[in-house]
A and B are shown apart, each in its own frame.
Chain A
Amino acid sequence: MSVAPKQQSFEPLIVAFCCNWCSYAAGDLIGTSRMSYPANVRIIRVPCSSRVSPNFVLRAFQRGADGVLVAGCHPGDCHYVSGNYHARRRLLVLKRILEFTGMEPERFEVHWISASEGNKFAEVMRDITENITALGPNRKLRDIR
């Protein structure tokens, strides 16, 4: 095998699970208003942040994601009444476990972005991309390929 490519052109891969009602809609809004954010983010639509099983996050890291984001409605504003509260508890535990495995905590984040917060959506995407670019590629939990 050849030598690993130089690190300065590192483009991180970020998987974002967005709830259909708030964050996914905010993603649509930012598109409609023609603002931009880094193309490193790949969005997967889920009905609610509570649909995101820790399994999905682990699988993303396993398959080579350098960062994972879960975005849902603000606490109290869940389209399904209480889903994001469950997500909050569940994913906080996951974050602790990931930290325990030695992963940098910035690699897995949960944000609340409402359907009207297009700007926040872009901001979160820019921040997470920037942070993870600075961290470099993820090596924990990764498949040997």
Chain B
Amino acid sequence: MRRIGVFVCWCGTNIAGTVDIEAVVEAAKKMPGVVYTGEYKYMCSEIGQSMIRDTIKKEQLDRLVIASCSPRMHEATFRRTAAAAGLNPYLVEIANIREHCSWVHKEKEKATTKAIALIRAAVAKAAYNRELVAGEIPVEQRALVIGAGIAGIQAALDIADAGFEVDLVERTPSIGGRMAQLDKTFPTLDCSACILTPKMVDVASHPHINLYTYSEVEKVEGYVGNFDVTIRKKARSIDMSRCTGCGVCLEKCPIKVDSEFNEGLIKRKAIYIPFPQAVPNVPVIDRTSCRWFKKGKCAVCKKVCPADAVDYEQADELLEKKYGGIVLTTGFDTLKLDEFGEFGYGKHPDIITSLEFERLINASGPTGGKLVRLSNQEIPQNIVFIHCVGSRDKARGKPYCSKICCMYTAKHAILLKEKYPHSQTYIFYIDVRTGGKEFEEFHRRAVEEYGAVYFRGIVGKVFPEGDKLLVQGVDSLSSRTIEIEADMVVLAAAMQARDDAAEVARMLGIGVDTHHFFVEAHPKLRPVETHSAGIYLAGACQGPKDIPETVAQAGAAAAKAIVLLSKKTLIADPCVSEVNEEICTGCLACIQVCPYKAITEKTLDQKVHGRVVQRLLAQVNEALCQGCGSCTAACRPGAINLKSFSNDQILAEVDAVCL
């Protein structure tokens, strides 16, 4: 007979408020196999845990049922408690009477009945629990960082500084990401390039970092400690070992296309370096626009290259690598503004986005930092900024706040006034949100010292009149209609997830939210981990955030990755499938449904009536099995079973809840 102990937690009033603890304890005492029933206000507290430990020894309990919060919350805690008292941790079962009972049901009687049923199920299941011993899996002590913006750069540097090998993969020809596009950063007005480029150089010269630019991750398989990753190194058409970065090819190339780095404000060549401080400072041939690749003629770059580095024959290279952990830092895009016809973006050259403004005012930008109207190359006088274009807009844009727009618009107002003291900025906002160190002070400075005029209200229409732009809006605080003759209108477009974020998430086996931002394992307590062990997140791919937050998160993600990589082996979850060889018929239906290729066939020589017969059987590779249990439902004779979610256990639960 089992000796099961049931411990009912009050969780303060969280459970005790709606569930009659006394009745539950009385009912639990009568359940089969239960020899001890206890209750306490906070079972997870040290006093609660020591009560469990003492009782295990005193009552010689061989199974535990803790009726408390969700097993997703404290299962691990109580398993440790059991282990500390010498009981195998897998002999613990949790009855979820908080999230699934006391918090969702208001009527005490019904909640109590349900709590008793849930505990009965847990007791019935616990009776079938077996001692399980966790195995060990080796850890490949090398990390992969996907995306080389500031988040990826910081994470790669931190992991590499801890002494581990890091591969940093970047889709575009250079590292640097969004931060490289910016002019100055709020609230300190440091020049973005001045603080970023040294880090870029550090990455390039770090002995533990391998940089793969113009490369994409194509396939991710495996599991924590042992990810098998395929990286496609796209053909750069330049021999990187030969190129000296002299730049002659860039000058001579006859083809011009929009520069992505400059938000299409100027042209680049078909062979190009995205920006002067690019790392690596090696050009790349854009094969979709290059005349040689389109028409088979030209080859000017090859002729002029003094180092003979141009290689049209170069092909994509597929690298297969193994990693222990992955940090995902793929960044963000800005919202396309096609839906916002009233602002006229795309219809007039002087209506631009904030990122375009950032390029225009940047000393290394297309105009050398001279802010000009793109329509007539004159310096603008009156400039209107519009906040929340697509942010906090359920109907056409995104319901969330993009978080950084209030601050960078204040920054733009300050930069403008400093550069052009006669200019005047007008800013339309819904709310000004300045949560952050020195942020409010910065915003006040924009208003008080730099004379930015803020209107709380929305802009109804922007349209050209003469060579000006007429901005019509409402100041909702004074209920006035506002009309401004502007020379330039700047739209703070919402931040959004990358177009292919959902695909990337699927490839890695992690989750995305409704806006396709990657989902963290817990919004408060595990902000940089994902639900897939060994995969970490940092930066705006997880949600809108500014540079300091991104860097902090990248450091945190790196720290988590370092914790993982610093172990030679990991404890494997023992809740995996096992085959009962006695009844396996060798139909191998299980192999078909296993997503991890964890089941293989084997033959067994068996003596039957004095003859040796070869039998075909399934066998499970415990390191590969992740414990989904798909095979168990596919198994016709019921020979394959999942430890800790076995057929017996689940059927016992079904029987118990139906009583």
Contacts and interface: CB of A to CB of B under 8 A. Distances in A.
Interface of A: 13, 15, 20-21, 24-25, 27-28, 30-32, 34-37, 39, 42-48, 50-56, 59-60, 63-65, 76-77, 79-83, 86-87, 90, 114-116, 122
Interface in B591-629: 593, 595-596, 626-629
B84 interface: no
A39 B626 contact: no
B113 interface: yes
A63 B655 contact: yes
6 contacts: A27-B100, A32-B103, A39-B101, A51-B628, A65-B654, A115-B519
A82 B630 CA distance: 9
A115 B118 CA distance: 21
A79 B655 CA distance: 28
Nearest to B505: A77
Given A34-B103, A59-B651, A80-B628, A15 B593 contact: no
Contacts of A28: 70, 72-73, 96, 99-100
Contact of A30 (B104, B110, B627): B104
Q: Which of B105, B647, B653, B658 has the most CB of A within 10 A?
A: B658
A44 B629 contact: no
A56 B650 contact: yes
Contact of A13 (B519, B627, B658): B658
A43 B100 contact: yes
Contacts of A50: 593, 628-630, 633
Given A27-B99, A43-B96, A86-B633, A15 B658 contact: yes
Nearest to B629: A51
A55 B514 contact: no
B400 to A, nearest CB: 14
Contacts of B114: 39, 42
Q: Which of B110, B121, B633 has most chain A Cβ within 10 Å?
A: B633
Interface string B567-581: 000000001000000
Contacts of A20: 72
Contacts of B629: 46-48, 50-51
Interface in B27-57: none
A83 B121 contact: no
Contacts of B71: 45
Given A56-B650, A115-B511, A63 B628 contact: no
Contacts of B388: none
Nearest to B512: A77
B511 A86 contact: no
A82 B595 contact: yes
Contacts of A83: 595, 628, 630
A59 B656 CA distance: 11
B633 A24 contact: no
Interface residues of B, number: 52
Interface in B198-250: none
B118 A116 contact: no
6 closest cross-chain pairs (CB), A and B? A31-B99, A51-B629, A80-B628, A63-B658, A50-B630, A31-B103
A31 B110 contact: no
A109 B514 CA distance: 24
> Considering residues B104, B117, B531, which has the most beta carbons from chain A within 10 angstroms of its beta carbon?
B104
A59 B99 contact: no
B72 A24 contact: yes
Contacts of B506: 76-77
B98 interface: yes
Contacts of A13: 657-658
B634 interface: yes
B111 interface: yes
A25 to B, nearest CB: 6
Contacts of A114: 511
B110 A39 contact: yes
B657 A81 contact: no
A30 B104 CA distance: 7
B320 interface: no
**Which has the most chain B C-beta neighbours within 10 Å: A34, A39, A79, A116?**
A39
B531 A39 contact: no
Nearest to B110: A39
B67 interface: no
B645 A36 contact: no
Contacts of A63: 654-655, 658-659
Nearest to A61: B658
Contacts of B509: 79, 81
B632 interface: yes
Interface string B500-518: 0000001001010110000
B106 interface: yes
A67 B121 CA distance: 18
Contact of A48 (B117, B118, B628, B659): B628
Contacts of A47: 575, 627-629, 642, 645
B103 A55 contact: no
Contacts of B645: 46-47, 51
Contact of A81 (B73, B113, B595, B633): B595
Nearest to B650: A56
B107 interface: yes
B440 to A, nearest CB: 31
A35 to B, nearest CB: 7
A15 B654 contact: yes
A48 B113 CA distance: 27
B514 to A, nearest CB: 7
B98 A55 contact: no
A31 B104 contact: yes
A80 B152 CA distance: 27
B654 A53 contact: no
A43 to B, nearest CB: 5
A28 B71 CA distance: 10
A116 B655 CA distance: 30
Contacts of A44: 121, 650, 653-654, 657
